[in-house]
A = this chain, B = another copy of it.
């Protein structure tokens, strides 16, 4: 097993697969990542950290979204949702490999290493996948304190009332004109 990402100085270690994991559906893959693809049947008596065999390896389902799926970035301290962007297999692989959030820019049609230009990278603290493998959460440390290109901590800084009216919540952390020159 991998060493896991550092969280507060302690390396996270994968837990044992529980029996519940056996109940998870296995999604066929058309976008292999170079990660071990085989799903073997875990034994109830596997020791922790027994190695890749016996553990379920994740295969995300990129097909439903035409090669993309949404990734939610969430602050590792506050739980605040910072942004939502999209990943393709390349962005997913680069995120796992580097420990820094990578997305696929739909507007630019290119790999987007978040923070590459602003310095406001997102250090991965944990990653979660949803029950049908078509959405993920990146739990991150947001360098610079703001994920939004407008300078707000969160891209979700506009509160919508039930009549559709909008109010701004939160404060600007940085001035975009100073960061993106």
Contact = CB atoms under 8 A, between A and B. Distances in A.
Given A35-B164, A129-B156, A129-B158, A72 B79 contact: no
A166 B23 contact: no
Contact of A131 (B18, B137, B149): B149
B168 A17 contact: yes
Interface residues of A, number: 68
Contact of A81 (B3, B72, B167): B72
A150 B133 CA distance: 13
Interface of A: 1-5, 12, 14-18, 20-21, 23-24, 33, 35-36, 52, 55-58, 64, 70, 72, 74, 78-81, 83-84, 96-97, 99, 106, 124, 126-132, 135-137, 148-150, 152, 155-169, 172
